[in-house]
Structure 1
Amino acid sequence: MSLKSFAAKLFAKRVVSKSREWIENPVATQQKVFNELIAKAAQTKFGKDHNFDSIESYSDFTAQVPVRDYEALKTYVEEVVEGKEDILWPGKPIYFAKTSGTTSGVKYIPITKESMPSHIEAARNAILFYIAESGEADFVDGKMIFLQGSPILKEENGVKLGRLSGIVAHYVPGYLQKNRMPSWETNCIDDWETKVDTIVDETLKEDMSIISGIPSWVQMYFERLQQRTGKPVGEIFPNFKLFIYGGVNFEPYRAKFNNLIGRSVPSIELFPASEGFFAYQDTQTEKGMLLLLNSGIFYEFIKSDSFFEENPKRLTIAEVELGVNYVLIISTNAGLWSYNVGDTVQFTSLKPYRVIVSGRIKHYISAFGEHVIAKEVEEALKIATANTAVSINEFTVAPQITPEEGLPYHEWFIEFETLPADMDAFAEAIDTAMQQQNTYYDDLITGKVLQPLKITSVQKNAFSAYMKSIGKLGGQNKVQRLSNNRKVADALTLYKI
């Protein structure tokens, strides 16, 4: 055992022990965060506009501060972008994380000196929890790669601006700098395909032990490695021992990854966003990710089936239930207040509080009142592919409201790596799994309002070509799993087989 891995084990034990203090006192921890946020922001423009000085309880807060999305908060954000101080949070942010929104165009999410450490500590602690539980730490001696956006930052009115993953690249601790891949120069390459090829060049002869990124883009990296060498990734990197991912559900990719790697590799799931680092997988034995209740974020939850009502009930951590789909609402030490992140979550555990990401509140199918969410389509695909040789690279689902003949249906666009022996039987297996999960969908099928789903098989690399066509290839961009319109579906019809 090296000195570094020995030290990592000791540090992991200490961090996990310290974390137990807030994990075992969740409600009190959140109340403390709430009180600190309100007190700190009371003299900001937002705080004065919403009478923070008079807020003494959560009910006062909900009466004064409505739930907002980026568009509704935009007037305040624009003042911050213009360089004004004390608008959403005391002083000025140290960064803007630049993201692309579906309705707001480019979004500028503030990151403050108070919020930035939480992003770094959460990513670090996810690995430390794994070390503490598994006893494995020798991977800290190998090379680590984080597939991310360019770290080149611009500046706007004295505040640095860039993608979150690029901002985080500036915070890699000194003791990991020699282990970190790719090189700074390669990380700065904008064109994703060129970047991946260059990363392959740099890493082929290295002792890679940790690989991290959004699964779809890591898959591209793995495929390029395999094309270059004719070997599985696990043979190229015999000490590859940990895969870290976030952004999308890994299950649809797991079989393909095992095939590309040639063996199973332990993984850690993260739930990061520009708005905050919300959760990470704290154990390999339980489902879900540990919700971070002590990191400067106060959480609220609204049941997704009532979210679009005029005054939906807002819940605190003390009021949530297992298995219910909630819209995630946050107030943070970066100056976001009752902010709708857009993600939906479900709790898998209340002691401690663990969540899974079930989808996006704007990404669903309910063209016929079926209320289908991402978790359901991903689970249906997992069930249908279990114990089969079927391998899938990517997929998305959309309604077909006006087919040329017959009843409407859900159309599944799937990029297969290995085709089913019987496509009709495979489609039926998915449809059955969907009916078992979603009673609304089941009623529509049995009531002859919808016909069973249909699969449209698309060419290899169709999804990459589509993402490239809209300028979202690589980085932190993700394929939309499902939508209530045909925008993505119509674009993919160009690639159907």
Structure 2
Amino acid sequence: MSLKSLGAKVFATIIDRKTKSWASKPVASQEKVFHNLIKTAGNTAFAKAHSFSNIKTHKDFVSQVPVRDYEELRPFVDRVVAGESDILWPGKPLYFAKTSGTTSGAKYIPITKESMPEHIKAARNAILSYVHETGKAQFVDGKMIFLQGSPEMESKNGIQLGRLSGIVAHYVPNYLQKNRLPSMETNCIEDWETKVEAVIDETLPENMSVISGIPSWVQMYFERIVQRTGKKVGEVFPEFNLFIYGGVNFEPYRAKFDQLIGRKVDSIELFPASEGFFAYQDKQDEKGMLLLLDAGIFYEFIPADQFHDKNAPRLTIGEVETGVNYVMIISTTAGLWAYNIGDTIAFTSTAPYRVVVTGRIKHYISASGEHVIGKEVEEAMKAASNKLSIVINEFTVAPQLSPANNELPYHEWFVELGDATNVDLHKLAQVLDIQMREQNSYYDDLITGKILQPLIITAVPENGFKEYMKTIGKLGGQNKLPRLSNDRKIAEVLEKIIG
């Protein structure tokens, strides 16, 4: 055992002890974060506009600070972007994480000297948690690749601006720098397809032990390795035994990854975003990720089915239940206050608090009142893939409300299969529909009442979704394909690609 791997085990034991300390006192941990946030931000423009001096309890906070998304918080953010100090948080941010917006175009999410270390600490602790649980630390001696956005930065009124993954690239610890791939030069390549080829050039000769990134883009990297070498990824990298991912549910990709790798590898799921690092998988055999309750983030949870109600409840950590779909609201050391990040989660455990991401509050299908969410379509696809022993590369779902020939409306599943030659699409549609009806009683009622007809599958050709992402200018990086939408904007582009 090397000194580095031995040191990782010792450090992992220390971190595990600290984690258990705050996780065993969830309500107290969150109350400490809450009061620290209110006190620290007391002299900011936002605090003065919302009478922070009168906020002593969460009830006070709810009455003074409404839930906002980016568009609603933008008047304050714009002042920060313009270079003003002490607006949302004391001083100025260290960075702006630039993300794709909706109606506002680009979004500028502040990252402060208080919030930046929490991103790094959480990523580190996720790996150390794995080391402590499994006893496996040899991977620290191998090469590690993090498929991410370009680390090149711009300047906005004296504040550095970039993609979150690119910003984080500047904070890789010194003890990992020699192990880290790709090179900074390759990481700065903007065109994703060119970048993937350059990454392969650099990694093929190396002893890769850890590979990390959004599953859809790591899949492209793996596919190109198999095409180039004629070998499974597990043969090319015999020491590769740990995959770290975040951003999307891995389950729909798992069968494809097993096929490309040629063997099972351990994995760690992360829940990071530009707004904060919220959770990581702390147990290999437990469903859900440990919610980080001492990381400068105060959480509130609104039941998703009540989110649009005028007086929807804003629950704290001690009030949530397992199995309920919640919209997650955050207040942070980056100056985001009662901020709706758009993600929905459900708790799988309350001792400790573990969560799964169930989708996006804006990504759903309810064109006929069915209230279908991302978790349901992913669970249905996972079950159908397992039952029929097929591999799915990618998929998305859209409503079809105006079919030809006066047919009933239906949900159209656009599916790219790993091997389409031996797949009975009619059988796949039947199994998927049964799974959806078992999960969602509204959908079942609409099928039974002949308001909707059973779902229909449209086959997408190989690399069709890759072409879609390229068409909309979002190929690679941290961009993700929505699993479902309540309109046909994605479907219309896919129809043109399918021809």
TM-score by length of 2: 0.99
Q: Which residue of 2 aligns with 1:287?
A: 287
Aligned residues: 497
Q: Paired residue for 1:237? A: 237
Q: What is the aligned partner in structure 2 of residue 398 from structure 1?
A: 398
Deviation for aligned residue 1:158: 1.3
Alpha-carbon distance in 2 for matches of 1:43, 1:491: 49
Corresponding residue for residue 227 of structure 2: 227
Map 1:162-177 → 2, pairs under 5 A:
162-177=162-177
Aligned to 2:27: 27
CA-atom RMSD in angstroms: 0.8
Partner SS, residue 436 of structure 1: helix
Could you tell me which residue of structure 1 aligns to residue 194 of structure 2? 194
**8 Å Cα contact 2:388/2:428 also seen in 1:** no
Tell me what 2:438 maps to.
436
1:343-422 correspondence runs (5 A): 343-405=343-405, 406-419=407-420, 421-422=423-424
CA contact (8 A) 1:394 1:416 kept: yes
2:464 and 2:332 map into 1 onto residues whose CA distance is 39
The answer to whether residue 247 in structure 2 is matched with residue 247 in structure 1 is yes
Query: 1:427 maps to what in 2?
Result: 429
1:270: which partner in 2? 270
How far apart, CA to CA, are the structure 2 residues paired with 1:383 and 1:248?
17
State the partner residue of 1:461: 463
Structure 2 alignment gaps of length 5 or more: none
* In structure 2, C-alpha distance between the alignment counterparts of 1:334 and 1:210, rounded to whole Å: 30
- Which residue identity does 1:252 align to in structure 2? P
Q: What SS does structure 1 have at the residue aligned with 2:364? A: coil
Structure-1 residue corresponding to 2:451: 449
2:314 aligns with 314
Give the counterpart letter for 1:459 in structure 2.
P
Partner residue in 1 for 2:55: 55
1:134-149 to 2 correspondences below 5 Å: 134-149=134-149
Cα distance in 2, alignment partners of residues 27 and 95 from structure 1 = 31
- On the 8 A contact 1:456/1:496 being kept in 2, the answer is no
Q: Write the deviation string for residues 135-176 of structure 1: whole angstroms up to 9, x where unpaired.
A: 000000000000000000011111100000000000000000
Letter in 1 for 2:52: F
* Counterpart-to-counterpart distance in 1, 2:356 and 2:414: 24
The residue that corresponds to 1:487 in the other structure is 489
Deviation string, structure 1 residues 411-466 (Cα, Å, up to 9, x no partner): 00001112353211110000000000000000000110000000000111111111
In structure 1, distance between residues paired with 2:282 and 2:268: 8
Offset, 1:105:
1.5
- What displacement does 1:389 show? 3.0
Runs of 5+ consecutive residues of structure 1 not aligned to the other structure:
none
Give 1:472's aligned residue: 474
Structure 2 distance, partners of 1:26, 1:158, is: 38
1:92 corresponds to which residue? 92
Structure 1 length-normalised TM: 0.99
Aligned mates of 2:445, 2:497 — CA distance in 1 = 32
What residue number does 1:9 align with?
A: 9
SS in 2 for 1:140: helix
Deviations 1:35-73 (A, max 9, x none): 000000111000000000011111000000000000000
Q: Which runs of 4+ in 1 moved over 4 A?
A: none
Q: Deviations over 1:249-271 (max 9, x none)?
A: 00000000000000011000000
Equivalent residues in 2 for 1:209-224, closer than 5 Å: 209-224=209-224
Partner of 2:301: 301
- The whole-number CA distance in structure 1 between the counterparts of 2:374 and 2:102 is 17
User: For residues 360 and 41 of structure 1, what CA distance do their matches in structure 2 show?
Assistant: 29
